[in-house]
Structure 1
């Protein structure tokens, strides 16, 4: 049935017209455009269209005798849910919008007889007579039929709200809309990802969120994302998958949306950083034919193919599947470097009954990369060497990485108000390879390179159980959620072997030394170290800082109290966490029991304008130990913020502004007294403070023009330093890898005029600016140059086919994603202080052809 595709993909323009059976004056006519975000498949409840009168319980219906409630569920004739449909009682101002489950509820309806009329473009209208009695609830369900003559109108409106989202995914467990939540949350939609031709989480996603950046490191491996001046962990479907080096960067083929939650958010899912989290929501079966295939190509030998299959495994639609496949090969601006990968992600769901859904998901990624990072080095300054400089060698074995993620979900509705969710996840991440690195650099560019083992293994296990719903006490509505979550993270790493140099065949008296200004390649096999891998990585890493074992159990509860006809919302929440960090011996084992409170207040000044304030805390156990074998204390943080949120023009676009102050204690920083690349010793710095201002705008500003605009001012400084040496004390210095001013913009315009030769033609483009960038392990050292980048592209959409082209870094500027400065206490003729940096990709183009099967 065609209409459900539009209902579930956001191509629904719903209109409801109402009159009162008691001849009350017609006070409202509602005609709005609605677009569902991240729909969740659920089969029909198989209920008839009859109206049922349900006597209320003492808790639920404590209203005055003059008022009652009308509620129900809207589906299409084949049983698919119909979200974001408007429902209004004829001739009155009473109405509601169906949620992602197709459910609606109208409270405080005066006793009397009414007519409900539900109509939508693409659906035949339907009416139903109801009688409302004081202190009662009337249940009125609707099943709507398809109107083929109006499908074209649905298609015309299909691109509305493609950059704006009104609600978060169920994995965040928040029941209220983003407009009402007392927290800054930004969602990067799959439509925006496709518009920017983003192929993974490393590929420029952070440009869409204020105050958020990615620091380059091992880009073939994982994303290193920061917001509000602090690093934030990677979540996947609401589960904390943060590892010291992973998980592998999520591929766009598996991503439905990315949710950036600002500030502490551990109460919702698991322990987190005070700066926030980013949550990858993976694609799930919808029961609709959303299958597609795409082919991409571009500069630096980029080639990519992706297939998305979405459909039914049983005729009754209870057993569904989704399969995403992708393969990609990509060269590099680094000479001889490359990254090849493939992704397989099957998902199966089964609807046991109308209230119970189980889902099983498996994702695997395999990556082969000649080098994990693309570092440049120079004794003179940032960008002194060209992007093509590669300190590795094609004679060295490539690095091989793999990531396996299995997740099981259980979703059950206890009744119309309460539901239970449970999920368990297992992640196994592994790297095997080697990493070349300089041991010293001379002023003339001569570099002595050594080769380390690069071997990692991480096993992350998570389990969550939550319950959420609502109840009423007098005039106050409570939206309650609570639950427990448990996790265990074990990691092992071996980066030894740093004393084994790798040298070229001597030529012209150069003694086989690699020179960064005149690089030669081709290391003889006899000069390549052979590492002893006969012992398992668990044994080899047992004696160094890379062996960790962290276990936690948390319990939380939150009550959102809604007053004054739900205009005022008070959030009270708390979390108790028990965490155990295991060190090398029992003497270095740390056990923590911590309570983290949360208080938020949100008020709707108008129906589309709200103000909020928030105070919350975070707690995050840290793995590893210092040079002396002492296990690190957990990160403690708190956040206070104020903000305004406004929807404009019937919710087509949204603006959010916030100010915040975050304090973070027990921060880790490199141990400058014990520099050893094979061990990566760290110390706990003390305390940092980050404060700033953020503004985000997203949505359709005018017809056909969708935009994302943001600006952030971030002041992140060290406020306490445990170092007693005044020369090394960093109090007052800027936080390394923070940026003072960040602003980004992205515009996408598509012409929709039937009969025009330009119908379906689109233009897109954007900018990124980062000013005052602080670098490396010691932010007192030279800063990175400003980051200024422009992109532009065009596309054409005709029926099921879309062709798009994009040029990134249009001005071909030298851009850097990271930089640091290694200052030696004593310089010699063969060893001087040097700069380390990672280039952004030079100017490059991408072209994608996509075909949708329906």
Structure 2
């Protein structure tokens, strides 16, 4: 790797000699007089063709400007223009502006900021990265709220992953949890830059609270190194803007879908220092699974206060509550995937619904020390809970007969996080050091009880269920009340009931991070040197099971701008994942380590209206737990544990996983008013080392070798045409060579082809849209696995397939009124 970086560095350095003319750069940030970000403002050098437009963070950058004295002109509709004289030599001049509102223009003109619909130039402040995306040596994709609205996605699992190369969702529990994977590993959920990862949660975020979703490919040490090497996804919630972006949305659709959402955004005080944002949503949804339903509501208030021009504090609370008849929307059949009709329901209308909820409180502090340096701090508290039951089967006969059992499903998770960071630039001659330092602290405690209750729930004897069995091909519903277990939640707390099983966890970590992005050669060459030291403690049920890890994770990146809008990058970074448990001798397991090597190209096209990223990567994951099949180890364990099971299930860290692939992402406005999302990924994720040599070379469960997605949106904007305001939209998803959820056998899922299409109409403050999902009404599976027959199953039982259907063809209609 070092050799490759050195070669690339020398090639780029040699190429830079072609630029003999002395040039410099100008950059800065534009705000209004009340501190509001000024996006879409034109910044030009008077009398020249050099210029830029401020992005969503109010920042601008003008590069490769010949040395000299210039007049910098800043202007926008609704704002009084300003001029400033600057002298530019080799290096960078920083020039910020604060513009006053021109009320006469504001009264007469509707301001158009030129906001990009699908393309984003910078990540949110919650990711701490200060440079534009095209300069960051990593593949990061951002899904905007406009794109989410165009696709009529109502939550994070509602097809949002289609907008990011190689990213999929594994279905589970009626889509209550995201289970998002990329680059061959499941990636954790972040919310505003803070880790929300839990064994089952958090609940998938509702679209009413989402401003954008950021997908970071790779270990992402600048956020947190203790996680999977595939990356993270970061939900950025809506904050007050000080502008009138309020709206009301009503939606309806197939399977008895009804939804209402309110977004209120405004000022509490006239001076704009105290702002608020309130998002409310309520949704009632039936299911293609017979009898099932899913209802929820969301409450999300936010208040921000601008103490002075440099200091902002924000308080945010989000509450979600979900009620579902059954969380288990699985199908089971003896002969293969997709054998049953999608309407099959493993639950029963006689059972009580499950209830899930989460409470998330976050406090933010942001302070600008000067034009270059700022400090940020935030703390978060999340409380997630589940109370209900889950229906499953113990075994299956060849004719489809099963005996359902009903078990308690209860969980409690408390997640506490704190972050503090400082960042800014130090200029030394022609070199800029862009520093970032931070401290992350977190504690996650979870308790779960998924105990089997009074086991069998036998239906009434009917012609379709003789002897009380339930047949998956001819299901008969209606369990007598006397046969339904009643769970007692009050005798013992979930904490005490969870203490004796594997669902009790306690993980505490503290991480210290330091990064220096060295910007040289007129900021065309950027070298990133960074590292994170993490101390993590996993508390087990016995002293021997407690694990304390001290891990250093380096990060080395190189990015070079061949042209202003074209860069090449390389990256090496690491991750680690604490592992609880112990081997046959009672020794604690080492953390799982991940290494990522990545190379890529980034290009902005057509004056920055759309972007393309091409990336290649290789991830190696070491110390993976696998079954310990060594008879010597088993015998030794029995000697040390004479009261243990006759055939103990031991584990050993001999596993290794390798994942490599290529990713292509294109996003932006291809031609005027025609926006595009297009991506493709090749992922080769396999078991490369294991104690069970027979599975070496098998694909990683739930990985997909070929994925491509596309989405087009076009709106007619010609006031002379009767089509003015009319829009067309549509997209596709294709997944080929899909692997089921087991690495013991190489089992394939059916190929995935989905097509969607819609129309919309906008006029003034009103928008009406309709969309048909799964236009061809194909039987699509979001996951699948196979359970082989075991010795403990009845003699006449067989192995069976387990799988989850995606929603069949369905339509949605949305009416939005905007208070602008």
Q: TM-score, normalised by structure 1?
A: 0.87
Q: Find the partner of 2:209 among 254, 257, 282.
A: 254
8 Å Cα contact 2:25/2:522 also seen in 1 = no
1:848 is aligned to 2:817: no
8 Å Cα contact 2:454/2:485 also seen in 1 = no
Q: Find the partner of 2:705 among 734, 740, 749.
A: 740
What is the DSSP-based 3-state SS (H/G/I as helix, E as strand, rest coil) of the residue aligned with 1:416? coil
What is the DSSP-based 3-state SS (H/G/I as helix, E as strand, rest coil) of the residue aligned with 2:747? coil
* Residue matched to 2:497: 540
8 Å Cα contact 1:433/1:453 also seen in 2 = yes
8 Å Cα contact 2:196/2:202 also seen in 1 = yes
Structure 1 residues 295 and 661, CA, compared in 2 at 3 Å: closer, same or farther?
Answer: same
Distance 1:372 1:672 in 2: 35
Q: Find the partner of 1:796 among 743, 748, 761.
A: 761
Q: Find the partner of 1:665 among 622, 628, 637.
A: 622
8 Å Cα contact 1:126/1:144 also seen in 2 = no
> Would you say how many aligned residue pairs link Structure 1 and Structure 2?
781
Q: Find the partner of 2:569 among 612, 631, 655.
A: 612
Give per-residue Cα distances to partners, 1:223-254, cap 9 Å, x unaligned.
Answer: 10000111100000000110000000000000
Q: Find the partner of 2:156 among 201, 226, 238.
A: 201
8 Å Cα contact 1:220/1:339 also seen in 2 = no
Counterparts of 1:404-423 in structure 2, within 5 Å, are 404-423=359-378
* Residue matched to 1:775: 740
* Residue matched to 1:244: 199
Q: Find the partner of 2:302 among 328, 347, 364.
A: 347
* Residue matched to 1:599: 556
1:512 is aligned to 2:468: yes
* Residue matched to 1:483: 438
Structure 1 residues 513 and 844, CA, compared in 2 at 3 Å: closer, same or farther?
Answer: same
1:584 is aligned to 2:541: yes
Deviation at 1:620, TM superposition (A): 2.2
Distance 1:529 1:202 in 2: 32
Distance 2:451 2:629 in 1: 19
What is the DSSP-based 3-state SS (H/G/I as helix, E as strand, rest coil) of the residue aligned with 1:207? helix
8 Å Cα contact 2:388/2:408 also seen in 1 = yes
Deviation at 1:825, TM superposition (A): 4.0
* Residue matched to 1:116: 72
What is the DSSP-based 3-state SS (H/G/I as helix, E as strand, rest coil) of the residue aligned with 1:698? strand
8 Å Cα contact 1:461/1:488 also seen in 2 = yes
What is the DSSP-based 3-state SS (H/G/I as helix, E as strand, rest coil) of the residue aligned with 1:192? helix
* Residue matched to 1:4: none
8 Å Cα contact 1:124/1:147 also seen in 2 = no
Deviation at 1:287, TM superposition (A): 0.7
Distance 1:386 1:136 in 2: 64
Give per-residue Cα distances to partners, 1:644-674, cap 9 Å, x unaligned.
Answer: 0100001111111011000112335699999
Structure 1 residues 280 and 70, CA, compared in 2 at 3 Å: closer, same or farther?
Answer: closer
Give per-residue Cα distances to partners, 1:754-793, cap 9 Å, x unaligned.
Answer: 1211001000000000000011223624311000010000
Distance 2:337 2:65 in 1: 67
Deviation at 1:159, TM superposition (A): 6.9
Give per-residue Cα distances to partners, 1:167-194, cap 9 Å, x unaligned.
Answer: 0000001010000000000000000000
Structure 1 residues 113 and 582, CA, compared in 2 at 3 Å: closer, same or farther?
Answer: closer
* Residue matched to 2:99: 143
Give per-residue Cα distances to partners, 1:827-851, cap 9 Å, x unaligned.
Answer: 7564110000000100000000001
Counterparts of 1:595-744 in structure 2, within 5 Å, are 595-622=552-579, 633-668=590-625, 686-723=655-692, 726=693, 729-744=694-709
Deviation at 1:498, TM superposition (A): 5.7
8 Å Cα contact 1:816/1:837 also seen in 2 = yes
* Residue matched to 2:641: none
8 Å Cα contact 2:613/2:664 also seen in 1 = yes
* Residue matched to 1:61: none
Deviation at 1:101, TM superposition (A): 5.3
User: Which one is further off, 633-642 or 548-557?
Assistant: 633-642
Gaps of 5+ in 2: 1-21, 635-644
8 Å Cα contact 1:266/1:619 also seen in 2 = no
8 Å Cα contact 1:652/1:699 also seen in 2 = yes
Distance 1:806 1:368 in 2: 26
User: Which one is further off, 481-490 or 105-114?
Assistant: 105-114
Give the alignment's Cα RMSD to 1 decimal. 2.9
User: Which one is further off, 470-479 or 188-197?
Assistant: 470-479
1:569 is aligned to 2:526: yes
Counterparts of 1:445-464 in structure 2, within 5 Å, are 445-464=400-419
Give per-residue Cα distances to partners, 1:483-517, cap 9 Å, x unaligned.
Answer: 11000000011111266111101224701211111
What is the DSSP-based 3-state SS (H/G/I as helix, E as strand, rest coil) of the residue aligned with 1:539? helix
Counterparts of 1:205-604 in structure 2, within 5 Å, are 205-269=160-224, 271-497=226-452, 500-508=455-463, 510-533=466-489, 534-604=491-561
8 Å Cα contact 1:77/1:145 also seen in 2 = yes
8 Å Cα contact 1:664/1:688 also seen in 2 = yes
* Residue matched to 2:714: 749
What is the DSSP-based 3-state SS (H/G/I as helix, E as strand, rest coil) of the residue aligned with 2:134? coil
Distance 1:749 1:299 in 2: 25
Distance 1:449 1:685 in 2: 37
Distance 1:135 1:484 in 2: 31
Deviation at 1:268, TM superposition (A): 2.5
8 Å Cα contact 2:225/2:553 also seen in 1 = no
Structure 1 residues 100 and 468, CA, compared in 2 at 3 Å: closer, same or farther?
Answer: farther
Distance 1:709 1:318 in 2: 41
Deviation at 1:93, TM superposition (A): 6.4
Deviation at 1:720, TM superposition (A): 1.2
Distance 2:434 2:98 in 1: 26
Distance 1:128 1:102 in 2: 18
What is the DSSP-based 3-state SS (H/G/I as helix, E as strand, rest coil) of the residue aligned with 2:498? helix
Deviation at 1:715, TM superposition (A): 0.2
Q: TM-score, normalised by structure 2?
A: 0.90
Structure 1 residues 755 and 663, CA, compared in 2 at 3 Å: closer, same or farther?
Answer: same
Structure 1 residues 672 and 847, CA, compared in 2 at 3 Å: closer, same or farther?
Answer: farther
Structure 1 residues 133 and 741, CA, compared in 2 at 3 Å: closer, same or farther?
Answer: closer
What is the DSSP-based 3-state SS (H/G/I as helix, E as strand, rest coil) of the residue aligned with 1:667? strand
8 Å Cα contact 2:627/2:691 also seen in 1 = no
8 Å Cα contact 1:443/1:829 also seen in 2 = no
Structure 1 residues 505 and 132, CA, compared in 2 at 3 Å: closer, same or farther?
Answer: closer
Give per-residue Cα distances to partners, 1:616-654, cap 9 Å, x unaligned.
Answer: 001222456789987654221010010001000011111
* Residue matched to 1:11: none
Distance 2:483 2:757 in 1: 46
8 Å Cα contact 2:34/2:273 also seen in 1 = no
Distance 1:412 1:154 in 2: 32
